[in-house]
């Protein structure tokens, strides 16, 4: 066996070239055939348009009127060319049937008309005409015969054959060591791989190989990577394809491809079939909104094939999706997809492990602390973290450093989350001042509240994703639950920027649109999902849909209740905004000092922010103590 992964059936470069060359020849012959038929059609059309039939009497009249320039004997007719042509580019000729008229030839000679006699075709000419007439049919027969051989019984042009890429006992280059942060998912798949390697150990007890395993999770969490790792570990034939590979505009093609795929899998058992994005064919068969015959036939065939697998064939079907809620229930029942493997966003330890995996081949200096980066990227998936490591390496090269530093990593986090710095966008002095107070308002409100997250960075440099500035928070530890006080502190923090604008400039701007959106979303979730409203109590008023994609929700209450929910959300936001204005008004001097420093520096760290904050607070406390002493 070779060590490198190669799709089955490939015999090297020569085997790759021959089918392509044959296909090119067929395409060329087909093109020539179509061109010939088109040219022949055009010639016949032009001929029919330029040649008109007339009566023999009309021909004699033209001779008497001296309107004939040339006459050609074609064997059965006289072809007549007039002396004058009508306006236009097409030459008009006439033809009429031949009659037994002895006076015709003397009449033509008397008027000095050119006569072209009829010459009988020879045998070779007749043979060539017959071959030329049947040549298009011969070419069509050759092309169709070749295509029928290529389709292999799966339908015209091979549309019914499976498009699966088959990797037979080869190395994909990916193993379970390359998958980090998904220990539970790996554990479930390791059992399957071990079953394929040592089926006798399980057969002694009476255990059977699961028919299928469904990998479920948000995009970018590593579902396809896990499947590649299974292929790299299993050392059995591995069929890989996407759900969309089954879908065609012709009804029955998808079902034919499913049959072909499973027939091949049975021949190569034990094996693994991996179907990525299975929701493309596995949607629920709900006829209320109209169905798709092709997709439903494909799904029905898939259900029949999975249910029809013999237990001793040892064939496992892996599938991946980020929309499990829309899959057909028949597909999810035991006996088809026996296991649902959740591939969630990694936790803090998982993110550290993922960063270590992607940083293995990257040169890091002594300042790098991957745990700090993991803390700053709560909610990031594996693909995000891989992108951050790569961006950090690019930044290190750009800055002419020999190794990646912690500064490069934090800047890469900002690039992935917020976009690159937009240095060509120059704000006016007034706008810089407004943006500065806005961002400091967020940071100061967070610093003044007990349940807020610490500030890591404040900047007023615009970013390519639209932000004119932002405040970066880094939690002190990973959290899986939030208390009501913490959520209330988050609401006040969201609205701190707008509160600072109104407090300092006595007006508001459009810069708080995203803050308002986030605050409204959080306040609504507190009322409808978390049961944190005194008015509605523990009543669930919203349900989640597409939990792995956009976290969309649907209200499951009456219109009157929905209107009351809006009023409650408005009340919570109003109270949070009032609290934000109160905190900033009581610390106005601190707000002004930090904003002035930010306008000058454009970007300040959380450490610099806290130093100014503590210094101003100490000065204010000392001033108050002096006033008390003076008063006494």
Active site residues: 439
User: What is the distance between the alpha carbons of residues 220 and 56, in angstroms, rounded to a whole number?
Assistant: 85
- DSSP for 374-389? HHHTTT--HHHHHHHH
* CA neighbor of 212 nearest in space, from 106, 341, 113, 109: 341
User: What is the distance between the alpha carbons of residues 140 and 150, in angstroms, rounded to a whole number?
Assistant: 15
Q: Which helix (H) or strand (E) holds 456?
A: strand 455-459
The DSSP bridge pattern shows strands 603-605 and 68-73 to be: unpaired
Q: Which helix (H) or strand (E) holds 316?
A: strand 315-321
Angle at 237 between CA 148 and CA 311, to 5 degrees: 100
User: What is the distance between the alpha carbons of residues 221 and 547, in angstroms, rounded to a whole number?
Assistant: 14
Residue 428 has which token pair?
A: 């006016």
Beta bridge partners of 458: 471, 604
* CA neighbor of 321 nearest in space, from 271, 280, 371: 280
What does the buried/exposed string (b/e) look like for 188-201 if buried means 16 or more CB atoms within 10 Å of the residue's CB? bbeebbebbeebee
Distance from CA of residue 561 to its chain's centroid?
38
CB-based burial label for 552 (10 Å; 0-12, 13-18, 19+): exposed
């Amino acid at each position: 066996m070779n060590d490198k992964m190669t799709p089955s059936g490939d015999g090297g470069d020569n085997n790759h070239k021959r089918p392509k060359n044959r296909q090119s020849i067929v395409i060329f012959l087909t093109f020539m055939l179509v061109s010939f038929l088109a040219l022949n059609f055009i010639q016949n059309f032009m001929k029919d348009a330029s040649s008109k039939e007339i009566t023999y009497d009309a021909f004699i009249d033209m001779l008497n009127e001296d309107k004939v320039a040339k006459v050609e004997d074609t064997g059965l007719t006289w072809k007549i060319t007039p002396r004058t042509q009508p306006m236009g580019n097409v030459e008009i000729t006439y033809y009429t049937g031949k009659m037994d008229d002895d006076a015709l030839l003397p009449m033509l000679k008397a008027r000095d008309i050119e006569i072209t006699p009829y010459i009988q075709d020879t045998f070779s000419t007749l043979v060539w005409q017959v071959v030329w007439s049947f040549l298009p049919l011969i070419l069509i027969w050759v092309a169709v015969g070749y295509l029928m051989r290529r389709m292999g019984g799966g339908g015209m042009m091979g549309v019914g054959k499976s498009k699966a890429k088959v990797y037979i006992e080869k190395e994909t280059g990916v193993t379970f060591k390359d998958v980090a942060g998904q220990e539970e998912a790996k554990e479930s798949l390791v059992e399957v791989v071990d079953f394929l390697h040592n089926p006798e150990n399980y057969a002694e007890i009476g255990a059977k190989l699961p028919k299928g395993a469904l990998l479920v999770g948000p995009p970018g969490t590593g579902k396809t990577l896990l499947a590649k790792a299974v292929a790299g570990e299993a050392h059995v034939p591995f069929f890989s394809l996407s759900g969309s590979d089954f879908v065609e505009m012709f009804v029955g093609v998808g079902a034919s491809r499913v049959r072909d795929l499973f027939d091949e899998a049975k021949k190569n058992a034990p094996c693994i079939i991996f179907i990525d994005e299975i929701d493309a064919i596995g949607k629920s068969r709900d006829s209320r909104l109209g169905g798709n015959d092709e997709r439903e036939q494909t799904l029905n065939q898939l259900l029949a094939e999975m249910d029809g697998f013999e237990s001793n064939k040892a064939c496992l079907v892996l599938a991946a999706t980020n929309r499990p809620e829309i899959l057909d229930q028949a597909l999810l029942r035991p006996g088809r997809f026996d296991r649902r493997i959740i591939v969630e966003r990694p936790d803090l330890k998982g993110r550290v492990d993922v960063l270590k995996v992607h940083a293995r081949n990257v040169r890091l200096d002594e300042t790098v602390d991957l745990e700090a980066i993991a803390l700053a990227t709560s909610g990031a998936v594996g693909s995000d973290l891989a992108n951050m490591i790569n961006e950090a390496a690019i930044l290190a090269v750009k800055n002419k450093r020999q190794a990646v530093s912690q500064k490069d990593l934090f800047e890469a986090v900002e690039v992935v989350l917020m976009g690159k710095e937009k240095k060509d966008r120059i704000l006016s002095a007034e706008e810089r001042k407004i943006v500065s107070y806005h961002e400091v308002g967020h940071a100061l409100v967070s610093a003044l509240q007990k349940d807020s997250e610490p500030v890591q960075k404040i900047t007023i440099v615009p970013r390519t994703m639209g932000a004119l500035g932002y405040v970066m928070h880094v939690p002190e530890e990973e959290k899986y639950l939030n208390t009501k006080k913490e959520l209330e502190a988050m609401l006040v923090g969201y609205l701190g920027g707008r509160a600072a604008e109104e407090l300092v400039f006595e007006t508001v701007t459009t810069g708080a649109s995203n803050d308002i959106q986030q605050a409204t979303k959080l306040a609504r979730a507190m009322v409808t999902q978390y049961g944190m409203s005194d008015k509605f109590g523990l009543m669930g008023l919203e349900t989640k849909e597409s939990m792995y994609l956009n976290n969309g929700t649907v209200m499951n209450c009456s219109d009157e209740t929905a209107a009351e929910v809006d009023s409650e959300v408005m009340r919570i936001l109003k109270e949070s905004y009032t609290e934000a204005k109160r905190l900033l008004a009581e610390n106005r001097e601190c707000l002004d000092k930090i904003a002035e420093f930010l306008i000058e520096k454009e970007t300040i760290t959380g450490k610099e922010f806290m130093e100014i904050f503590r210094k101003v607070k100490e000065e204010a406390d000392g001033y108050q103590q002096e006033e008390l002493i003076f008063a006494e």
